Amino acid sequence: MITAGDFRNGVTFVMDGNVMQIIEFQHVKPGKGAAFVRTKIRNVITGAVTETSFNPSAKFETAFVERKDMEYSYNDGELYYFMDTETYEQLPINSSVLSDGFKFVKENMVCKVSSFKGNVFSVDAPNFVELEITETEPGVRGDTATNVTKPATVETGAEVRVPLFINTGDFIKIDTRTGEYLERAKR
**Interatomic CA distance for residues 15 and 63, integer angstroms:** 9
Any idea which architecture 2-62 has in CATH? Roll (2.30)
In percent, the amount of the chain with pLDDT more than 70 equals 95
For residues 104-116, average pLDDT: 89
Instruction: Name the average pLDDT for the chain.
Output: 86
> Which pLDDT tens digit goes with each residue over 120-136?
888 888 989 999 999 98
End-to-end CA distance of the chain: 50
> Which pLDDT tens digit goes with each residue over 146-172?
678 888 999 988 999 998 888 889 999
What pTM was computed for the model? 0.71
- In this structure, are residues 172 and 162 in contact, taking their beta carbons and an 8 Å threshold? yes
141 confidence band (pLDDT: 50, 70, 90): low
- In this structure, are residues 105 and 129 in contact, taking their beta carbons and an 8 Å threshold? yes
Task: Report the CATH number of the 65-124 domain.
Answer: 2.40.50.140
Domains 2-62 and 130-184 share a fold: no
Give me the pLDDT at residue 5, please: 86
| Domain residue ranges of the chain, discontinuous segments joined by + | 2-62, 65-124, 130-184
Alpha-carbon distances of 150 from 36, 153, 164, 171, rounded to whole Å: 51, 10, 6, 15
Mean pLDDT is lowest, of 13-27, 67-81, 142-156, 170-184, for: 142-156
Single-letter residue type at 99: S
Question: Which has more pLDDT, 177 or 140?
Answer: 177
For residues 61-85, average pLDDT: 89
| Closest by CA position to 80, among listed 156, 174, 179, 175 | 156
Give me the pLDDT at residue 143, please: 61
Q: Is the pLDDT of residue 96 over 70?
A: yes
In percent, the amount of the chain with pLDDT more than 90 equals 20
Which CATH homologous superfamily contains domain 130-184?
Nucleic acid-binding proteins (2.40.50.140)
